[in-house]
Chains A and B, each alone.
Chain A
């Protein structure tokens, strides 16, 4: 019975978090799919990828996000999807932190961050937001993992 309560709690957490993350992914991906050139511009301004990877990333990344959004909302393939979500969010977080450290304002791709207070506020918000998403993704993956654990234990 204790195990059932734990399982229910985990399942509830999974439901809430996957709906939230799913909506975030769907919302984030739509504009990028409709305007790939504008998104390619953003990717370029991050100054992280070699030129030949920029367009491919601008084409594929939004679809990864879209599919993750759909799958999260429908609750399918949670192990792989929550893992990929964590990977993606962690990458975005690392990218933004790296750029803040080297003083790059990603909105324009210029190294003017040290002198632009508006941009600094913007970048700080990106960091907080991305960190939040990483934490949610990790937590989701953890819960999914725990459910697997509980379900395997139950079938013994």
Chain B
């Protein structure tokens, strides 16, 4: 293929690819605007509108509140992280219900926990939605007293609160 034919080929590549991209942008924006499940393209934080990981203010519990409740021993803490991470350090007395193994473990872990118990779920911290996911599952499963410690493990440790390890 001569040089002019090669450049003709790449010319086609460029325009065809660009056309697909632009068409996708137009289609995407139009369908999104006309659809009730659409997203706001300009809104910065996706989590603000994602129903699956939205910690509504009613659900959230602050570190201080969680700590005072911890001291009364009246709540069950649920650690949503993986078993290995849990073993390396968790809130004393917390039960491990890894989100990735929810189906397999939920009966065993939650069986002895009555539905009116105050349950506080947590994960790493602000960036991790697993605590929220656990809380939602629990709520649909009949637990009506569920809170999420959004500051999570990182927040707990930063305050120097007690921890427990499994060796």
- A59-96 residues at the B interface, CB under 8 angstroms: 59-64, 66-68, 71, 77, 79-81, 83-84, 87
Contact of B139 with A by CB under 8 A: no
Contact of B124 among A81, A87, A112, A145 (CB under 8 A): A112
Interface band, chain B: 35 or more
Per the CB 8 Å criterion, the residue count for chain A at the interface is 50
In the complex, chain A residues whose CB is within 8 Å of the CB of B117: none
Instruction: Name the prevailing secondary structure of the B interface residues.
Output: helix
Whether B23 contacts A67 by the Cβ 8 Å rule is yes
- A5-26 residues at the B interface, CB under 8 angstroms: none
Contact of A77 among B16, B39, B52 (CB under 8 A): B16
Contact of A98 with B by CB under 8 A: no
Whether B39 contacts A67 by the Cβ 8 Å rule is no
Contact of B32 among A47, A59, A112, A153 (CB under 8 A): A59
| Bound CA span A61–B27, Å | 11
Chain A residue at smallest Cβ distance from B124: A110
Instruction: Name the prevailing secondary structure of the A interface residues.
Output: helix
Contact of B123 with A by CB under 8 A: yes
In the complex, chain B residues whose CB is within 8 Å of the CB of A52: 42, 44
- Identify which of B1, B40, B85, B123 gathers the most chain A CB atoms within 10 Å of its CB: B1
Interface residues, chain A, with chain B CB atoms under 8 Å away:
33-38, 40-41, 43-44, 47, 51-52, 54-56, 58-64, 66-68, 71, 77, 79-81, 83-84, 87, 107-112, 115-119, 145, 148-149, 152-153
- Identify 20 new A-B residue pairs, CB closer than 8 A, beyond the known A61-B24, A110-B128, A116-B84: A35-B37, A36-B38, A36-B39, A37-B46, A37-B51, A41-B46, A41-B50, A41-B53, A43-B46, A60-B24, A62-B28, A63-B27, A63-B28, A79-B12, A81-B20, A83-B16, A108-B128, A110-B127, A115-B85, A148-B1
